[in-house]
Amino acid sequence: MSFWPSRWCSPASAAPAKAASRQDAGVLTVDLLVQQQNFRLQLNEQIPLQGVTALFGRSGCGKTTLLRAIAGLDRHPTARIHFAEQPWQTADTFMPVHQRRIGMVFQESSLLPHLNVQQNLLFGYQRRANRLLVQLQPADVIDLLELDPLLTQAPGQLSGGQRQRVALGRALLSQPQLLLLDEPLASLDQQSRQEILPFLQKVARELKMPMLLVSHQLEDVVKLADHLLLLQDGRVISRGPLAQQLLQPEFAACGAMSVLTAVYQSCQHFMLQLIVGGQLLQVPAPVSSPTANGSYRLRILARDVALSLKPLADSSVTNQLAVRIIAIQAAAHPAEVLVQLEVADQPLQALLTRQSAQRLALTPGQALFAQIKAVALD
């Protein structure tokens, strides 16, 4: 089980008051047809402009093509794109990229090598005539992303994670109404990925800025996304809240897992006491970041969930939740089944052998108990 705080309460990560007042912008409507040699991308989607929406799929499925069309980097004659009530592209109009108020972070940071960190940040700072559009000041972003120790350094002196942090800050200081992230972690080593991820989470949760994330790494998507569009061969085959989309069979090959939202209750003996639907769940507190009130996101691998007909009194597994079976499906291996469960209206998956499922006589609608192994904390 892995977890990430949905909020961070240390003073350095407090969101600016103006940024925190952002309102839900509605939906991003995209009607797009792209034909490129042997590849065809066709979709008509309404993407929620709230939280983080991941565009997920294998390489070559059309994720980056879609993102570039939304940004206005590529113009496709038949495309129709609206940001809330604002037309970005219609049959008669095409709003250029610099007028769409989009912040972009790519796989490579593209910092200007002859400028230091502070100068790179200010390069992205636009002083707009309409002061209502200026919601983030340089000091806000420097505090949010903890960039103060880096301000006088040149890009060549930074780690990969630090460079991406600066690139993110520069994008935020362009005062965007939408943030586009195109594989922002793909070129980073594991240490740098772990360095930048908390800052992406802070931006998403504290600034309330809508974000589109392109990724083919399920781990990144699970840590960051609220909604997911699953692309395959140039079309969207599934869409919806992340927790529900993880139930799709396409994710079984990546390792079936679930995402639960839990509420902080307390921290005792270095163990977080979290509540899921009125039930207690305990996980080791992170040592590298402060514990925080609010909600936490929990990632639970299906293979780390066992089932029993009654609570187990004599067991090393302390986390036991009352659940109900929704469905029993075939798994990737013929000797296994994937049991779809529900805990307080949240989906949970368990990977069992067929033999175990038959021995317990599992059936849809049955009430039982899930034992969750609190291991592999990231």
DSSP conformational letter for 94: B
Number of domains composing the chain: 2
Residues 6+ apart with CB under 8 A from 376: 1, 2, 301, 304
Kindly give, in sequence order, each residue whose CB lies less than 8 Å from that of residue 255, ignoring residues fewer than 6 positions away: 218, 301, 302, 303
7 inside domain: no
Tell me the range of 81-85, 133-137, 183-187 where mean pLDDT is highest. 81-85
pLDDT for the residue numbered 108: 85
DSSP 31-55: EEEEEETTEEEEEEEEEESSSEEEE
Mean pLDDT for 23-32 is 81
User: What does the pLDDT look like over 57-100, one tens digit per residue?
Assistant: 888 899 999 999 999 999 999 999 999 989 999 999 999 998 99
CATH number of the domain encompassing residue 274: 2.40.50.100
DSSP symbol at 8: -
pTM: 0.83
pLDDT of residue 131: 52
173 with 80, same domain: the answer is yes
Asked if residue 280 is part of any domain, the answer here is yes
Q: Where are the beta strands (DSSP E) in the chain?
A: 2-5, 27-36, 39-48, 52-56, 80-83, 86-89, 102-105, 178-182, 211-215, 227-232, 235-241, 257-268, 271-276, 279-284, 295-301, 305-308, 319-330, 336-343, 346-353, 367-372
Residue-range definition of the domain harbouring residue 106:
27-246
* 234 plus 320 within the same structural domain: no
* 315 and 215 belong to one structural domain: no
Last residue of a domain, one of 200, 226, 246: 246
Strand order from edge to edge, sheet including 346-353: 305-308, 367-372, 319-330, 336-343, 346-353
Q: Is residue 12, in this structure, part of any structural domain at all?
A: no
Residue 5 lies in a domain: no
- Looking at residues 339-360, what average pLDDT do you find? 95
Phi and psi dihedrals of 360, rounded to 5?
A: -85, -5
Mean predicted lDDT score pLDDT of the chain: 86
pLDDT at 40 over 80: yes
Residue 8 has pLDDT above 70, yes or no: no
Based on the fold, state whether residues 293 and 206 are members of the same structural domain: no
CATH for 104: 3.40.50.300
Q: What are the tokens at 263?
A: 């509420």
User: What percentage of the chain reaches a pLDDT higher than 70?
Assistant: 87
Do residue 38 and residue 186 come from a single domain?
yes
Q: Which of 214, 246, 278 is the last residue of a domain?
A: 246
